[in-house]
Amino acid sequence: MANNSMAPPVLLSVAGFDPSCGAGIAADLKTFAVLDCYGVAAITALTVQSTQGVKAVEPVSPAVLRAQLDTLAEDLEIAAVKIGMLANRDNAAVVAEFLDRTALARVVLDPVAKPSSGGPELLDAEGLKFLREELIKRAAVITPNIEEAELLTGIEVRDLAGMKSAAQKLVEMGARAAIVKGGHMEKPIDVLFDGSEIVTFGGDQIKSGHTHGTGCTFSSAIAAQLAGGRPLAEATTLAKAYVTKAIEHGFAIGKGPGPVNPFYRFRQDPAGRTVRTDLHTMHPAVEPTLR
């Protein structure tokens, strides 16, 4: 019998493991699956965390990380890579070497440095320096939040003008494009600079405590859209719409901020059948505009 199914794009997540499965590898794999991609993963660190925050971080050895990456690359055709938590310089260097060997073009770098809820650093000082000076040059797009943008660029970001300056600086530092996320601002505007023009993406502040994994979900959604052949501005628009709805439908679980709901597009009807809505429905608050 002929197999009429087409294999989905294979996306690689390089990140840490969150036992509560709201962020990191788990969030990436859920997002990839919802967006019609097949996710694989190389774990950079094990964390001790829950919805209440990160308590401890245990990096994997560089040799183990390298073996994970090489084993996957030998077996699979990888369409895009999302890089999240790296833990330390040694692991960041392993990832840079891997990207050089494989020459993968669609690389989304989410420069995770500190947990939003406080706790131990997710990238040490030498790792941050390496990311700033070397790894950023391998990224098709880097997606820092405001605090991460300040750490990387040294630019104080307090308003839209600061976000634009930081995005431009990140491209000057070597990224092909940068998206500075303004989710914690009064008006959650994101700024994209692709080296030639600035695009802003509007949004409404969502009154929800279910925000665990927001950054991971956003960056992995961008990777999925890029793997589908969409240009960066469109990929960003779709990813922002997706994560906005995922926050709106987040879960009230645990004693801390609950996770976003990457599966909000799925529901069970009374007969128990899975119903799926349009994968690319826009959120009305998302309005990309040129500078």
- For residue 269, pLDDT beyond 50: no
* Residue 71 known to be catalytic: no
Predicted confidence at residue 137, as pLDDT, reads: 97
The catalytic position among 181, 183, 237, 244 is 181
Which position among 164, 169, 183, 216 bears the catalytic label? 216
- Residue 281 designated active-site: no
Active site residue 153: no
pLDDT in tens, 219-247: 999 999 999 999 999 999 999 999 989 88
Its pTM stands at 0.89
Q: Are 182 and 192 in contact (CB under 8 A)?
A: no
What average pLDDT does the segment 78-90 reach?
98
Q: Is the pLDDT of residue 288 over 70?
A: no
Q: What percent of the chain has pLDDT over 90?
A: 70
Strand residue runs (E) in 194-281: 198-201, 266-268, 274-276
Q: Which of 84, 182, 203, 215 is catalytic?
A: 215
Nearest to 135 by CA among 193, 175, 82, 165: 175
Domains of the chain from N-terminus onward: 10-179+209-231 (3.40.1190.20)
Cβ atoms 180, 163 nearer than 8 A: yes
pLDDT at 115: 78
Of 31, 47, 214, 237, which one is the catalytic site residue?
214
All residues at 6 or more sequence positions from 107 whose CB lies less than 8 Å from its CB, including other chains: 80, 81, 83, 99, 138, 139, 140, 141
Residue 271 has pLDDT above 60, yes or no: no
Give Dmax (Cα) for the chain. 61
User: Choosing from 213, 228, 250, 258, which is the catalytic residue?
Assistant: 213
For residue 110, is pLDDT > 80?
yes
Please confirm, yes or no, whether 211 is among the known catalytic residues: yes
Q: Is 82 a catalytic residue?
A: no
- Catalytic residue (one of 51, 153, 211, 217): 211
Q: pLDDT band for position 114 (50/70/90)?
A: confident
| Mean predicted confidence (pLDDT) in 14-37 | 95
